[in-house]
Amino acid sequence: MKIKVVTWNINRAAYTRRNLWNYMGTMDFDVGFFQEVYMIPADIRRMYHTIRGEMNAVLLSRKTFDGAIRNYITTDSGNEYVDDFYVSCTTEISGMELKLFSIYNYVGPAVADFAKFLDYLYKYIEGCHGPLIIGGDFNMSETFTNLTNWGILAADMIERLAGLGFRDHLLERSDSLTFITPDRKRRYKIDYLFIPEEFNVLGVGSPDEDEIFGAKPRLSDHLPIEAIVEI
């Protein structure tokens, strides 16, 4: 079975951002990880099961996922920063349990806080059974030169998740930059979509940046990552 998986920071999306929600309505995804979500209009909620976190959401197509959400996955960390970095769920597709994590490393917490969350994530992956897909705005890049500790953490995360059997296929392409700075002079890869190696990724990419950055008003300062996955 083929599904379309999307991750996208939609830049403080309020209910009134009609051009954004209209665009989202054309994306026709099965699994969506969205960050900086304020309110989701009713017409979108009618199309998707919605699992909400702190400015973070997982949307599952009602056409694809009939059984919807079984439960949330929790770390029980006792650290409010760690608990707010993600929203997650389990569901079923083609008789298989599928676990989903949408991650948003919002501005404010220290490197150590997000590193602690990642340690929880690695331990969860090591102990869980069945496939898991991870997407989100991690707000860090290996190419950060003025935020060295974040760059080191990003490189370590990519290596650790690769060791656990996950690939971000967009990282392997030259056009992998997904975020544009407010001055529009710099671009970074701070959004990731980690797919387990057992799944066949048939295609991955982002829309033409003029569709997103050139829209009036601009849809977001991030490009969505879209992948077609055979599971």
Tens place of pLDDT per residue across the chain (231 aa): 999 999 999 999 888 899 999 999 999 999 999 999 988 999 999 999 999 988 899 999 999 987 656 556 666 666 667 888 999 999 988 888 899 999 999 987 899 999 999 999 999 999 988 899 999 999 999 988 778 899 999 999 999 999 999 999 999 887 789 999 988 888 999 999 999 999 999 999 999 999 999 999 999 999 999 999 998
Distance CA 222, CA 217 (A): 14
Name the nearest CA neighbour of 181 among 141, 135, 131, 225: 141
User: In this predicted structure, what is the pLDDT of residue 74?
Assistant: 66
What are the C-alpha distances in Å from 206 to residues 53, 64, 132, 135, 148?
25, 22, 22, 14, 27
User: In this predicted structure, what is the pLDDT of residue 85?
Assistant: 93
Distance CA 211, CA 178 (A): 13
Structure token pair of residue 213: 């950055």
Distance CA 144, CA 148 (A): 6
User: In this predicted structure, what is the pLDDT of residue 105?
Assistant: 96
- pTM for the model stands at 0.94
49 three-state secondary structure: strand
Q: Where are the alpha helices (DSSP H) in 53-146?
A: 80-84, 111-127
Number of H helices, E strands in the chain: 6, 13
- How does DSSP classify residue 121? H
Containing H/E element for 2?
strand 2-13
